[in-house]
Amino acid sequence: MKYRSLRLVVLIVLLAAAVIIGHLLPGLNTTEIDREIRDALHVIGFALIAAVIFEVLPMRATKAALTTLVLVTALGALAELAQKVGGKGMDLTDLYLDIAGATLYLCARIVWQWTNAEKRSPVVHFSARLVSMVLGVLLFVPLGYWLSVNAGIAAKFPTILDFDGRWDAYLYLPINSEVSLVKTVATSGDYDGSFAEILLLRRSWSGLKIEPVVSDWSSFQFLTMRAAIVGGSESKVVVHLSDGSHPGYRTQHRIGDRSVGQQPTVVRFPLRGVVDIPGRPNLNPSNITDIYIIGRTKRKDKSEETRLFLDDIRLE
């Protein structure tokens, strides 16, 4: 009995250490879709932790389930606290997902165990086991769903963003701007795609940040896009790229600027031999993590609105 209790304590300590270390390591945070995948892994990971704890507790099923839920909650809270101490900040959503994963497993396990009792009719036995299996499958549904979304977007590569996909909004963030999608209609009256209309709220450093799903651009020479700016004069589109070296678009490689007018035109930016920041090496196109597209223009009237239009951002 003492050996089993000691084994349980050691197991919980090892699990706690593994969870805390996992929270402190760099995670899947490249795109919003990556973050959804990470959240789905939280559910599965803590379901597995709950399974290990539940199976080794020397208690009846109901008591073991409640004890497991308390331990998993404490473990998740401890991990979030360690994450805050490590400088990454607490995220209560992670804790809720941890509890949800453990709860789903425990419900599935208890229902399955309940079917093992004698004198259950075949219908009740089959129905209860079906419910247990459905609960188990639910643990993996979010991960499977977001992996399929990620794969669908990656399949469009070398198109980075065309604003037509259902999940394109997960790939970009406004920078001192307001972004809306405008649908276009063909002469036949059918839907013909969308483009982004970006209201620039500042005279500089205003535009769009894009988080590409595919980061290896090493086989391509140019980043291209259709762009236009309405309002102001001497309008330019400026592009910065991050190759994972430093956060923040003001310290990224500036790969160039192109003059644009009020009518959409295709502009091209080079990916080779870009050296923009003294003391830093050339841009590494095999690990592009962020694209910053900034609209710049001169305004005679400060109250004049300036809008940047973007579409069909791709590689050549």
d(CA 91, CA 77): 10
Cβ-in-10-Å burial (0-12, 13-18, 19+) of 127 comes to middle
Taking the mean position of all CA atoms in its chain, how far away is CA 114? 38
pLDDT beneath 70: ranges in the chain: 1-30, 83, 86-89, 117-120, 185-192, 244-251, 275-280, 301-303
**3-state class of 255 per DSSP?**
strand
Amino acid 224: pLDDT: 93
The partner residues of 267 in beta bridges, in order of sequence, read 225
Amino acid 278: pLDDT: 67
The predicted-structure confidence for 147-168, as pLDDT tens digits, reads as follows 888 888 888 889 998 888 888 8
Please give the CATH architecture assigned to the domain spanning 159-315: Sandwich (2.60)
d(CA 17, CA 39): 20
Q: What is the DSSP string of 182-213?
A: EEEE-TTSSEEEEEEEEEE-SSSS-EEEE--S
Element housing 116 (H / E)? none
The predicted model scores a pTM of 0.75
Helical segments of the chain, H only: 2-24, 32-56, 61-85, 92-114, 122-138, 141-154
Neighbours of 30 (CB within 10 A): 15
Q: What is the torsion angle, in degrees rounded to the nearest 10, for the CA atoms of residue 280, residue 247, residue 36 and residue 285?
A: -20
Amino acid 108: pLDDT: 86
Amino acid 25: pLDDT: 44
Domain map (residue ranges) of the chain: 2-151, 159-315
Amino acid 226: pLDDT: 92
